Chain A
Amino acid sequence: GAVVSQHPSRVICKSGTSVKIECRSLDFQATTMFWYRQFPKKSLMLMATSNEGSKATYEQGVEKDKFLINHASLTLSTLTVTSAHPEDSSFYICSAEPTYRSFRDKQETQYFGPGTRLLVL
């Protein structure tokens, strides 16, 4: 159980185009999903917290108009990199947190997707 998928696993696009990455929780509902960016052999940088039915919360320094997040259902969050440029090339990883009834129950481990490799030419 607790499987998270990402699609696509790898994408190559031209500079100036937009790319959408999907994150799905396959066997559980996730009110909250997280989007991370990782550079080669480096730590994960949290970009934003995605909440179902509401606006995402972006970390400081992350452009919300550049990285559009939509969490339309309890099993799907999407990250759209708009007008992508070569510096946006990276490994993007999502994680999903199972829905909880109260804050006290918010101890569940986040489950990570396999990641999406984006290369912008």
Chain B
Amino acid sequence: AQSVAQPEDQVNVAEGNPLTVKCTYSVSGNPYLFWYVQYPNRGLQFLLKYITGDNLVKGSYGFEAEFNKSQTSFHLKKPSALVSDSALYFCAVRDMRRNQGGKLIFGQGTELSVKP
């Protein structure tokens, strides 16, 4: 079965420090991986995706993620965290099997808190 795991419910980082939000996946076939961010009472905003190509993917707001096939991971990173990065982050895999309609399967979410 296709699945995504975010092992940390919460990540706390000091402003200016690097941040990492972890994600591991389990899929059959090639993974289509995504990161989304959600601010309180808002919908999801797309950050970045990996479909194919370079393992290091750069996205919005200075975020990047590294696809690691051997470790089945797709961790989200940012070199220098901002207080405004505080939000709920979701990793997702798209189920591209023909009978699944391309639905997104989300991880549990990780709440990122960046303190001044």
Contact = CB atoms under 8 A, between A and B. Distances in A.
Interface of A: 4, 6, 32, 34, 41-44, 46, 49, 57, 91, 93, 95, 97, 103, 106-107, 109-115, 117
Interface string B87-116: 010100000101001111111110100000
B74 interface: no
B111 A41 contact: yes
A111 B46 contact: yes
Contacts, number: 54
Interface stretch (B17-25, B36-44, B61-69): B36-44
B111 to A, nearest CB: 7
Interface residues of B, number: 25
Interface of B: 32, 34, 36, 41-46, 49, 51, 88, 90, 96, 98, 101-109, 111
Q: Is the interface of A mostly helix, strand, loop or mixed?
A: strand
Contacts of B107: 43
Given A115-B41, A115-B42, A49 B109 contact: no
16 contacts: A32-B101, A41-B88, A41-B111, A42-B108, A43-B109, A46-B105, A49-B103, A95-B44, A95-B104, A97-B102, A109-B34, A110-B104, A111-B46, A112-B44, A112-B46, A115-B43
Contact of B51 (A107, A110, A115): A107
Nearest to B99: A57
B34 A34 contact: no
